[in-house]
Amino acid sequence: MISVGIDVSKEKSTICILKPYGEIVSRPFEVCHTEKELSELTSMLLRLNDDVRVVMEATGIYHLPVLCYLKEKGLFVAVVNPFEMKEYRCQGLRRVKTDKQDAVTISNYGIDHWYRLREYEAEESIYAELKLLVHRS
C-alpha cells in the first residue's frame, strides 16, 4: 500500500510518496507539467512493487493535465474535494502551509482513507475533451 500525495500548482506539482505508519518512500520533490517529467514520474510509480494510489486535491483546472496523464497511463487517481482536505489538514496541531508539507498531508490522507478513496471517473465526452486539451499544452 503506497500513497502518492500530489500538491498541484499552475506549472508544477510537489509529490510525496508514503507507506503506512509514516514510512517515507520518497521525500517531497517537484515535477514540472511537461510530458517528459510526467513520463518519468509515471515510470517511477509503475516500478513500485505495491498497490499505488495517487491522491490530489481538486484545484480548478490546474490538476487536469496531471490527472489525465496519470489516468491515461493506467494509474489509480483519486481527486479530493478541497474542503474535505482542509478539514483533514486542520486536525493536527501544525499550521505549516508549504507545498512540501501539503504533499505530505495529501499522502497521509491517502493512507488514512485508503479504503474510502474513489478512483476518478469522468464522463466519456468530458474525458475526451480533457485529453484533447492536455495534448495541446
Average pLDDT, the chain: 85
Q: Using 50, 70 and 90 to split pLDDT, how confident is the model at 29?
A: very high
CA 28 to each of CA 15, 31, 73, 82, 103: distance values in angstroms, whole numbers, following the listed order: 5, 10, 22, 20, 7
- Note the CATH architecture for domain 2-136: 2-Layer Sandwich (3.30)
Residue with cell 491515461: 72
- What ranges do the domains of the chain cover? 2-136
Cα–Cα nearest to 105, from 86, 82, 89, 84: 89
- Reply yes or no on whether the pLDDT at 77 is more than 60: yes
Q: Using 50, 70 and 90 to split pLDDT, how confident is the model at 128?
A: low
Segment 106-126 mean pLDDT: 82
Percentage of the chain with pLDDT > 70? 85
Q: Using 50, 70 and 90 to split pLDDT, how confident is the model at 22?
A: confident
The distance from CA 103 to its chain's CA centroid, rounded to whole angstroms, is 8
